[in-house]
Amino acid sequence: MSESTGGGTRERIKAVALELFTEQGYEKTSLREIAERLNVTKAALYYHFKSKDDIVASFVEDRLERMDALVAWAESQPSTLATRRELISRYADTMFSGEQPSVMRFFEQNQTALKSLAAGQKMRGRMMELANALCRGDDSPAAQLRAALSLFAVHTSWFAVRAPHISDDERRKLALEVADELLAAIGTQPDA
């Protein structure tokens, strides 16, 4: 592996690790198996990642960067239904692009492993920040729950919708319809 291909190699390692983690689970996958599938030595793999935890952390860091950008954007916008709709749409775009569907399947299938990793803790914190951005202007418990559930509508659409032959576009559209039902009620309830 030459230095000039270091970035590409790192991405290939992540892609193969993701395949194996999804196929056989995080706990059952070894660094040796990842190296073998890549046809590289374990030492070459260690050059990029010292552990499976480091590989998972790289998935999470990529996602955290996207979430941070979404929160920053939302905070610069007025607290309106239009902003909430645009924010959830942008969130859906990040979940339905590139390798994200595979990453989401990995997260869903390996929740126990993620809970014990620092990266998993960071992810939960960022999800709460994103939910807070969605209900900004309405701090009621109902608004907080609706905001969180709107996010879950987007990312659980990969697992909860079991319709055969549904396209990613159809899945995204359905998730956003459900999210919108939740978001439309934020800020509309009278004070209790």
Contact 152, 144 (CB under 8 A): no
- Burial of residue 54, with CB atoms counted within 10 A of its CB: 0-12 exposed, 13-18 middle, 19 or more buried: middle
Q: What is the mean pLDDT of the chain?
A: 84
pLDDT score at 129: 94
pLDDT score at 125: 86
Residue 165 in tokens: 């032959």
How far apart (Å, rounded) are the C-alpha atoms in residues 112 and 129? 22
pLDDT score at 2: 41
How far apart (Å, rounded) are the C-alpha atoms in residues 17 and 26? 9
Is 70 exceeded by the pLDDT of residue 105?
Answer: no
Summarised one tens digit per residue, pLDDT across range 45-69 is 999 999 988 888 888 788 888 889 9
pLDDT band at 148, cuts 50/70/90? very high
Is 70 exceeded by the pLDDT of residue 109?
Answer: no
Rounded mean pLDDT, 21-31: 86
Is 90 exceeded by the pLDDT of residue 173?
Answer: yes
What DSSP string describes 22-78?
HHH-TTT--HHHHHHHHT--HHHHHHH-SSHHHHHHHHHHHHHHHHHHHHHHHHTS-
Of 18 and 113, the one with more pLDDT: 18
Full-model pTM: 0.76
Rounded mean pLDDT, 72-96: 92
pLDDT band at 112, cuts 50/70/90? low
Residue ranges of domains in the chain, CATH in brackets: 1-50 (1.10.10.60), 53-184 (1.10.357)
How far apart (Å, rounded) are the C-alpha atoms in residues 75 and 166? 34
